Amino acid sequence: MDATTARRTGLELSTSWQFWWAHAWIPLVVLIVVGLAANLSALDESIARALFFDGGSLQWIGAHNWWTTTFLHDGGRWLIRILVFLVFLFWAATFGRRDWREWRWQSGYFTVAMVLAIGLVGLLKTLTNVDCPWDLQEFGGRFPYVHVFANRPDALPHAQCFPAAHSSSGYALMALYFVAYEYSKRLARLGLAVGLFMGLLFGIAQQSRGAHFFSHDVWSACITWLVSLSLYTVAFKRRIWRRPVDTPQLGSD
């Protein structure tokens, strides 16, 4: 490697790191603050009691609600699955349709980002050994509350409720931000808003059923964002649009 190539490589790495950090520091701070608050205080339990749990009837307000259980949980899960599958089919079709090839990198990135983000949250959920709120004694369940990073007694059965898997499928749509980033900052912000809205919608529905606490959803949001960001920055090197350098970004500001 000659000196010019080495300098160019070093500059690219530095720029990529700056881009990653500029987009990562806020969720990292949120993780630290919410993580500490949830483990050192009654933040999660207070939010659950104030908004989602009826202490009089000892029932979660969304436990038997069609909108939260069937529409937003079951329907939302299939919506995301179908969306990812359709985008994957489109990516595969770009190898046969010449006029679709300009969308290959975008559809490929979106598919991989969605699968990785949702898959990582699902994997962590099986490993962290944290109960769902509906299983806790103070909310009508059978088990004592054990904080996320506390030592869980061996006598308790293995639990799988942290981070929040369902909301992660909505938050994973924040990958749309990076799909549009090089093309239009305005569309990128719209994609980010779509992901945040869907994640919040799915998360609130699950919290109202007693499936998750507030902090569970915050962790899912930050994890899915960092996965999409890291994939875009490292694997795709911040380039998924193949356009001439002098082509203006539509809607940019």
Q: How far apart are CA 212 and CA 48, in angstroms?
A: 9
Q: What is the pLDDT of residues 105-120, one digit of tens each?
A: 999 999 999 999 999 9
Question: Per the structure block, which two tokens stand in for 100?
Answer: 């679709």
pLDDT of residue 132: 97
**HSE (CB half, 13 Å, CA atoms) of 212?**
25
For 173-198, b/e burial (b = at least 16 CB within 10 A) is bbbbbbbbbbbbbebbbebbeebbeb
pLDDT of residue 196: 98
pLDDT of residue 67: 97
Q: What is the pTM of this model?
A: 0.91
Contacts of 201 (CB under 8 A, 6+ apart): 72, 76, 170
Q: What is the pLDDT of residues 213-247, one digit of tens each?
A: 999 999 999 999 999 999 999 999 999 987 544 34
Q: 227 and 5 in contact (C-beta within 8 Å)?
A: no
pLDDT of residue 149: 83
Reference 230, options 34, 1, 27, 71; nearest CA is 27
The residues pairing with 143 across neighbouring beta strands, listed in sequence order, are 136
pLDDT of residue 5: 53
Contacts of 167 (CB under 8 A, 6+ apart): 199, 200, 202, 203, 206, 212, 216, 217, 220, 221
- Strand, helix or coil at 59? strand
Q: How far apart are CA 84 and CA 82, in angstroms?
A: 6
pLDDT of residue 15: 86
- The segments of the chain whose pLDDT lies below 50 read 6, 244-253
> What is the torsion angle, in degrees rounded to the nearest 10, for the CA atoms of residue 118, residue 196, residue 227 and residue 236?
110
